[in-house]
Structures are given as C-alpha cells and as structure tokens.
Structure 1
Amino acid sequence: MASPTHQLSTRELEALSSKAITAKDTAYCPYSKFRVGACVLTQSGEYFLGANVENASYPVGTCAERVAFGNAVVAGHRDFKAIAVATDIKPAASPCGMCRQFMSEFTSPSFPVFMYDGEGNHTLTTMGKLLPHSFGPGDFTH
C-alpha cells in the first residue's frame, strides 16, 4: 500500500511498534494460535495495549485492535494519533472488517495504521484506505 504521511516522531513510532509486538505475548488464542498485538497512541502521548482474546465460541472473541481502543476509551481518551497492529505472519495482517468499523468511530480517514509482520517489518496505510466510504458518527441526523 502507498505510504501516507503521518505525524509521529521516530521515538513515538519505535514505542508504538515495540509495544504492539510485545502485546502479542499476552494474546489468548488457544484455538487459532494466531497471536495479534496492538498499541494505540493517544494525542496526549499515552499508549494503550491490546491483544486478541479468543473464546471456544469463535464469534465471542475480541480482536487486539478493539481491546486497545476500548482500554483507551475507558480511560477517558477519544483523540488518537496512530495504531500499530502486530502478527506473526508475513506479510502483515490488516485489521478485520469489524475492527475497521470500530476504529473509524474514533479516527479520521487520514489516521495512520501500521501493520507489522512476524519479522518486525511494517506496512503503513490509513483508515480511509482500509474502510472507504465508512459509516460513522457524522452520518446520524438528530
């Protein structure tokens, strides 16, 4: 995918990637064995981690991206700078459709999404490229 511009410092990007990669270690995935870690960076400079949590009834599981955003939202954050998602496969996996919709609730189309593969290499995209023509809070009429 094309490399969109982003406003992260080298230090922020290094922290974001290392935290997402480390978060894979906390994944609970006894069924799929597919570890996913995520780290979301708030505009105020705080990092929130997430990992996938599976359930014997597959649809009940939760993805790493939604866990990371949920942790941040519960802590009172609504403004985000970037997310990193890390898997063990190559090429890197992108967020699923449900996560894309969930993340669009709190982000703009230019929001950067860094996807890391099992070797630590990343692909950079945006929410707008992952979820074009998205449905969000601005689509409600009151």
Structure 2
Amino acid sequence: MNYKKLILKAMEAREKAYAPYSKFKVGAAVIMDDDKLYSGCNIENASYGATNCAERTAIFKAVSEESKIIKAIAIVGDTVNYTYPCGICRQVIEEFSDGNTNIILAKNENDYIIKSFSQLFPGAFSKKDLI
C-alpha cells in the first residue's frame, strides 16, 4: 500500500494543531477498513489531562462516523525524529485494530518507517482479557 497520501493528510492535520503550551504539533491520519480517511491533530488544554492527542482525535472522528477497524495510521510530529504514539493512544489503537494495523511514523512524505502494531505494543491489554 502506498502510504504517501496518508502521510500528507497527517502533515496537513499537524498544521491545525492547538499546542500553545508544548509547542509540539502532531498530526495523524487513519485509513479504515472501509477505505475512508480521517485526520486529527493534538489539542492541548491548560489542564494538561484534558489534552487530546492527534491519534485519538483521528480515531474518534472515524469511530463517530461508524468506521471501526483501522488498517493503518500515519503519525507526524517532529521533523527530526520519528514521533511514536503515547501509551494511551496505543491502547486506543488496539481497541480498533484487527491485529493487522500498520503504524507509519513519518518525518515527511519521503522519510518514514512502518511498524506493525504488535511491534509497538506487545502483550497489549484487549477486550479478550475481559473474558
């Protein structure tokens, strides 16, 4: 799969980030199993716990539109280093992954790496653990 379109959507979303405190802008874009694309940016809050990450913004937008399975997610933050999803975002990705979700960590549309979700979150807690 060519991930450049997904990365470009994440880069576009990054520019919309509301990050007045950290100044660290992040954009994310997901492609769902119905091939619909959704993007999101990080949205900070003076009460840091109320901040929402770009990954969750994109995923929640998709789920609110009835898309439930993430095929891939692209994350763009720092242009020098790859920006990995935080632990909470990894848990949310797990909830809407079918086990085959690819994570694209990008500095730009030409410099990126692809990780499987299980590489980023081995032994993830899932709904299977609730049985």
Q: In 1, distance between residues paired with 2:32 and 2:72? A: 7
Q: In 1, distance between residues paired with 2:19 and 2:42? A: 7
CA RMSD in angstroms comes to: 1.4
Q: Which runs of 5+ in 2 are unaligned?
A: none
CA-CA distance at 1:124 after TM superposition? 1.1
- Partner in structure 2 of residue 115 of structure 1: 105
- TM-score (ref. length: structure 1): 0.87
- Partner in structure 2 of residue 17 of structure 1: 7
- Taking a change above 3 Å as real, the CA distance of residues 120 and 55 of structure 1, as seen in their structure-2 partners, is farther
Q: Which runs of 5+ in 1 are unaligned?
A: 1-7
Residues 22 and 37, structure 1, Cα contact 8 Å, conserved in 2: yes
Q: Between Structure 1 and Structure 2, which shows a larger proportion of strand residues?
A: 2
SS of 1:134's partner is coil
Q: How does 1:5-84 map onto structure 2 within 5 Å?
A: 8=1, 10=2, 13-84=3-74
SS of 2:115's partner is strand
Runs of 4+ with deviation above 2 angstroms: none
The number of residue pairs the alignment matches comes to 131
Q: In 2, distance between residues paired with 1:113 and 1:24? A: 17
- Taking a change above 3 Å as real, the CA distance of residues 60 and 123 of structure 1, as seen in their structure-2 partners, is same
The percentage of counterpart residues that share the same residue type is 36
- TM-score (ref. length: structure 2): 0.94
Residues 42 and 80, structure 1, Cα contact 8 Å, conserved in 2: yes
Q: In 2, distance between residues paired with 1:109 and 1:42? A: 13
- Partner in structure 1 of residue 119 of structure 2: 129
CA-CA distance at 1:119 after TM superposition? 7.6
